[in-house]
């Protein structure tokens, strides 16, 4: 795969480019500009890794200003990384998340702590005012934790989807977001993001791209074959009409085999182009050879009568 860190996104505005190439990338005042640019990425479904890493780094440097808006922006960045799961973008984003984002034992430890506090307060009922103040403090802590737990739950859900996609377990991925007990919560998470309804279509394109690269990388064949039903499972496209439409949108890379409709052809365009170029170059070489033909005399049949005049003239001279 290409190194997305070295690629300058075409849609990147000059303002963002200036931020990324100057010391402004460490200035918290540019957070708003980067957040607006993030919205553009989600709406237009492209991923600028450098800009998003810069935004996450600024969030990390100003961690005391955690807000719901920042958490939503982080969720949107992770979903953008998920859309191109075949690159390392998603894992790069994970390394800049708060330490509690992927913690699995936070809830249990918090409940045990609350239980211990309750037992201790029951043993000391004489201090009613102190117990009241303690309960109010615990309530505020719980309210603060509810937001953290919600954010943590969203991050864990997205990470779970990434594991399925990264391991090429595509059928499990679709099963989780479509048919599992938590399917509704996954759908809410996706649809409430700025990417929204475009998410599934972009994921299908990414799955298709990964399969294409797997079949064509270091492969000398002009075309490979894959089962139509298997590809349907990978893309969660079981309706023939929608499936054929999706494949037709990706021609000439993909094409349903006319001889065998149950097979999809994966055309290696590089080899196809190289093969065509080789044929054209061979034809041009033959043409050049035919135009530059040189005549070579290998045998001559001359009679003595034809030389008599030359010999006679030589004596005269």
CATH of the domain at 52: 1.25.40.250
The answer to whether the beta carbons of residues 151 and 69 sit under 8 Å apart is no
Which regions of the chain are under pLDDT 70? 1-3, 103-149, 218-220, 270-317
Query: Which of 158, 192, 226 is the last residue in one of the domains?
Result: 192
Relative orientation angle of helices 128-166 and 183-191, to the nearest 10 degrees? 90
Whether residue 180 is found in the same domain as residue 273: no
Whether residue 92 is found in the same domain as residue 147: yes
The answer to whether the beta carbons of residues 37 and 53 sit under 8 Å apart is no
**Whole-model pTM?**
0.71
Whether residue 64 is found in the same domain as residue 179: yes
Task: Tell me which residue of 10, 155, 163, 191 sits closest to 85, measured CA to CA.
Answer: 163
Whether residue 95 is found in the same domain as residue 233: no
Whether residue 93 is found in the same domain as residue 175: yes
The answer to whether the beta carbons of residues 10 and 48 sit under 8 Å apart is no
Torsion of CA 20, 22, 23, 27, to 10 degrees: -50
Whether residue 172 is found in the same domain as residue 32: yes
Give the span between the Cα atoms of 61 and 90, in whole angstroms: 20
- Whether residue 123 is contained in a domain is answered as no
pLDDT of residue 141: 43
Whether residue 226 is found in the same domain as residue 186: no
Whether residue 97 is found in the same domain as residue 231: no
Tell me, letter by letter, the H, E, C secondary structure of the chain.
CCCHHHCCCCCCCHHHHHHHCCHHHHCHHHHHHHHHHHHHHHHHCCCCHHHHHHHHHHHHHCHHHCCHHHHHHHHHHHHHHHHCCCCCHHHHHHCCCCCCCCCCCHHHHHHHHHHHHHHHHHHCCCCHHHHHHHHHHHHHHHHHHHHHHHHHHHHHHHHHHHHHHHCCCHHHHHHHHHCCCCHHHHHHHHHCCCCCCHHHHHHHHHHHHHHHHHHHCCCCCCEEEEEHHHHHHHHCCCCHHHHHHHHHCCCCCEEECCCCCCEEEEECHHHHHHHHHHHHHHHHHHHHHHHCCCCCCCCCCCCHHHHHHHHHHHHHC
- How many structural domains comprise the chain? 2
Whether residue 162 is found in the same domain as residue 256: no
Whether residue 250 is found in the same domain as residue 186: no
- Whether residue 130 is contained in a domain is answered as no
Beta bridge partners of 223: 267
Question: pLDDT tens across 186-240, in order?
Answer: 999 999 999 998 999 999 999 999 999 888 876 667 788 999 999 999 999 999 9
pLDDT of residue 270: 65
- Whether residue 302 is contained in a domain is answered as no
pLDDT of residue 127: 43
Question: pLDDT tens across 270-284, in order?
Answer: 654 444 444 455 555
Whether residue 88 is found in the same domain as residue 233: no
- Whether residue 298 is contained in a domain is answered as no
Whether residue 50 is found in the same domain as residue 84: yes
- Whether residue 42 is contained in a domain is answered as yes
- Whether residue 9 is contained in a domain is answered as yes
The domain containing residue 275 runs over which residues? 218-292
- Whether residue 313 is contained in a domain is answered as no
Q: Decide: residue 273, CB within 10 A, 0-12 exposed, 13-18 middle, 19+ buried.
A: exposed
- Whether residue 11 is contained in a domain is answered as yes
């Amino acid at each position: 795969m290409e190194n997305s860190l070295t690629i300058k996104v075409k849609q990147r505005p000059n303002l963002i480019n200036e931020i990324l190439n100057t010391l402004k990338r460490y200035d918290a005042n540019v957070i708003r500009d980067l957040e607006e640019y993030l919205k553009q990425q989600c709406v237009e479904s492209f991923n600028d890794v450098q800009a998003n890493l810069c935004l996450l780094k600024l969030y990390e440097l100003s961690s005391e200003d955690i807000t719901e808006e920042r958490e939503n922006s982080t969720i949107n960045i992770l979903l953008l990384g998920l859309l191109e799961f075949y690159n390392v973008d998603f894992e790069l984003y994970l390394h800049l998340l708060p330490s509690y984002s992927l913690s699995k034992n936070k809830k249990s430890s918090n409940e045990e702590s609350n239980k211990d506090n309750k037992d201790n307060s029951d043993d000391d009922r004489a201090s009613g005012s102190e117990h009241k103040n303690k309960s109010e403090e615990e309530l505020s802590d719980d309210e603060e934790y509810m937001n953290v737990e919600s954010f943590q739950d969203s991050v864990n859900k997205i990470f779970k989807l990434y594991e399925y996609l990264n391991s090429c377990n595509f059928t499990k991925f679709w099963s989780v977001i479509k048919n599992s007990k938590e399917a509704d919560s996954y759908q809410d998470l996706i649809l409430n993001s700025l990417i929204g309804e475009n998410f599934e279509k972009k994921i299908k394109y990414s799955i298709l791209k990964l399969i294409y690269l797997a079949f064509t990388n270091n492969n000398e064949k002009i075309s490979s074959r894959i089962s139509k039903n298997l590809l349907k499972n990978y893309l969660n496209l079981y309706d023939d009409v929608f499936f054929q439409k999706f494949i037709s949108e990706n021609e000439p890379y993909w094409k349903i085999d006319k001889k065998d409709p149950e097979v999809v052809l994966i055309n290696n365009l590089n080899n196809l182009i190289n093969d065509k170029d080789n044929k054209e170059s061979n034809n041009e070489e033959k043409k050049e050879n035919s135009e530059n033909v040189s005549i070579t005399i290998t045998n001559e049949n001359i009679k003595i009568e034809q030389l008599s005049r030359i010999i006679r003239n030589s004596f005269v001279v």
